[in-house]
């Protein structure tokens, strides 16, 4: 599908991944982008770049119908990712919210939906060599469970309603603007509050934000995969190697502190207890912490063979660009 001039709805535009996708579609791809935003004021910067905004959310069917009206494609990047105490919060946003959007898109005759999922659908932790044909798994992590349920909904709509939906399953997305995989780790490292698990010898699978956006664009453009699912992953390195890159940016060359996996789970349960007592919303699911020591490797062979996607930016360049952004924003 030619993207220039095409009307494309992006959910989650005010977030990290959705924001990068929106800027790319507005810029290099010259698409006519519409955003679904809970608070239109937060989308002002993107509106100035030429995007349109529909105020609403995934739980408001009327706003979804307004948002998809007249669009050729939808990129669904909105998701609940922060740890919260209630599993229902994840289910409401990531599963039922996705179903609502799919219903509106099918009713409006949208030609293609690109759904941002996660490698978490293969279970947390997963082990061994993982491909898109590997069985999906469940875990005690509410985020992973909700993303799995969302994929099941996507497949059902594709099968029963004939809605063409491409699922992208990114690994840990880092780069300029990444809260969870760039900003928070750097801040904690600088404060001396960051620790590895089991000496950081588990494997972290990662993808640089621009490489993921490339995959989104290919998924919108290509006719090779009307309904399919693809892992998007640049590679895997040890947790120690990945986060020591941030430590060196902060002028720290000594080894990062480490705890055992058991110690990490005890800490998580203690932290969750304090959060409950203090009525804080953040929670750390202790059951899923095994992924910090797991050694699974996720292969994006399927997207390379089907859509021709290959990472443009390797880890060294990605970290260099991230460091530059840290300096620009005053984080370093």
Contact 98, 92 (CB under 8 A): no
Token pair of 72 as six digits? 């050729």
Assess whether pLDDT exceeds 60 at residue 191: yes
Strand 203-208, strand 235-238: pairing:
antiparallel
Q: What is the pLDDT of residues 3-19, one digit of tens each?
A: 999 999 999 999 999 99
Closest CA to 232 of 247, 221, 220, 216: 216
Q: Quote the pLDDT of residue 291.
A: 78
Please indicate, yes or no, if residue 112 is contained in any of the structural domains: yes
Whether the full predicted model's pTM is greater than 0.75, yes or no, is yes
Q: Quote the pLDDT of residue 170.
A: 97
The boundaries of the domain holding residue 119 are 7-175+205-236+295-312
Of 38-47, 80-89, 280-289, the range with the highest mean pLDDT is 38-47
Token pair of 11 as six digits? 């959910």
* Reported confidence tier of residue 127, pLDDT bands at 50, 70, 90: confident
Mean pLDDT of 121-150: 86
Please indicate, yes or no, if residue 228 is contained in any of the structural domains: yes
Please indicate, yes or no, if residue 106 is contained in any of the structural domains: yes
Of 83-87, 152-156, 167-171, the range with the highest mean pLDDT is 167-171
What dihedral do alpha carbons 177, 305, 155, 84 form, nearest 10°?
A: -20
Count of structural domains within the chain: 1
* Reported confidence tier of residue 285, pLDDT bands at 50, 70, 90: low
Q: What is the pLDDT of residues 297-324, one digit of tens each?
A: 999 999 999 999 999 999 999 999 999 9
Q: Quote the pLDDT of residue 232.
A: 98
Assess whether pLDDT exceeds 70 at residue 192: yes
Please indicate, yes or no, if residue 186 is contained in any of the structural domains: no
Please indicate, yes or no, if residue 34 is contained in any of the structural domains: yes
Q: Quote the pLDDT of residue 52.
A: 93
Assess whether pLDDT exceeds 80 at residue 237: yes
Please indicate, yes or no, if residue 131 is contained in any of the structural domains: yes
Please state, for a pLDDT cut of 70, what percent of the chain lies above it: 92
* Reported confidence tier of residue 85, pLDDT bands at 50, 70, 90: very low
Please indicate, yes or no, if residue 262 is contained in any of the structural domains: no
Mean pLDDT of 122-143: 86
Assess whether pLDDT exceeds 80 at residue 259: yes
Cα–Cα distance for residue pair 125/140, rounded to 1 Å: 10
Q: The CATH number of the domain where 102 resides is what?
A: 3.40.50.720
Q: Quote the pLDDT of residue 145.
A: 82
Please indicate, yes or no, if residue 251 is contained in any of the structural domains: no
**Mean pLDDT score of the chain:** 89
Of 3-12, 73-82, 148-157, the range with the highest mean pLDDT is 3-12
Token pair of 326 as six digits? 């840290």
Q: Tokens 């990047």 label which residue?
A: 77
Please state, for a pLDDT cut of 90, what percent of the chain lies above it: 63
Cα–Cα distance for residue pair 110/104, rounded to 1 Å: 9
Q: Quote the pLDDT of residue 287.
A: 65
Of 47-56, 97-106, 306-315, the range with the highest mean pLDDT is 306-315
Between the alpha carbon of residue 83 and those of residues 57, 79, 92, the distances in Å are 20, 12, 14
Q: Quote the pLDDT of residue 82.
A: 61
Of 218-227, 279-288, 321-330, the range with the highest mean pLDDT is 321-330
* Reported confidence tier of residue 266, pLDDT bands at 50, 70, 90: confident
Cα–Cα distance for residue pair 297/204, rounded to 1 Å: 8
Cα–Cα distance for residue pair 64/38, rounded to 1 Å: 11
Q: Quote the pLDDT of residue 135.
A: 92
């Amino acid at each position: 599908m030619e993207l220039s001039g095409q009307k494309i709805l992006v959910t989650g535009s005010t977030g990290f991944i959705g924001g990068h996708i929106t800027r790319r579609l507005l810029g290099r791809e010259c698409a006519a982008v519409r955003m679904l935003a809970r608070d239109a004021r937060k989308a002002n910067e993107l509106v100035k770049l030429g995007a349109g905004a529909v105020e609403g959310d995934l739980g408001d069917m009327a706003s979804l119908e307004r948002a998809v009206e007249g669009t050729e494609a939808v990129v669904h990047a909105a998701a609940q990712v922060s740890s919260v105490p209630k599993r229902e919060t994840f289910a409401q946003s990531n599963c039922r919210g996705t179903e609502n959007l799919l219903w509106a898109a099918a009713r409006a005759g949208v030609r293609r939906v690109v759904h941002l999922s996660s490698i978490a659908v293969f279970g947390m932790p997963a082990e061994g060599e993982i491909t898109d044909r590997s069985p999906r798994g469940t875990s005690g992590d509410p985020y992973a469970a909700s993303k799995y349920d969302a994929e099941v909904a996507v497949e059902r709509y594709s099968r029963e309603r004939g809605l063409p939906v491409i699922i992208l399953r990114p690994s840990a997305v880092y780069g300029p603007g990444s809260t969870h995989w760039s900003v928070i780790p750097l801040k904690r490292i600088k404060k001396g509050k960051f620790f590895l698990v089991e000496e950081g010898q588990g494997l972290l699978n990662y993808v640089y934000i621009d490489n993921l956006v490339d995959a989104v664009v290919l998924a919108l453009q290509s006719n090779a995969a009307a309904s399919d699912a693809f892992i998007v992953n640049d590679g895997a390195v040890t947790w120690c190697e990945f986060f020591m890159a941030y430590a060196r940016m902060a002028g720290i060359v000594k080894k990062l502190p480490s705890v055992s996996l058991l110690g990490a789970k005890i800490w998580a349960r203690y932290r969750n207890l304090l959060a409950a007592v203090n009525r804080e919303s953040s929670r750390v699911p202790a059951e899923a912490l095994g992924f910090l020591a797991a050694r699974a490797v996720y292969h994006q062979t399927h997207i390379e063979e089907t859509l021709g996607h290959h990472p443009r930016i390797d880890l060294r360049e990605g970290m260099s660009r991230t460091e530059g952004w840290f300096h620009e924003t005053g984080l370093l």
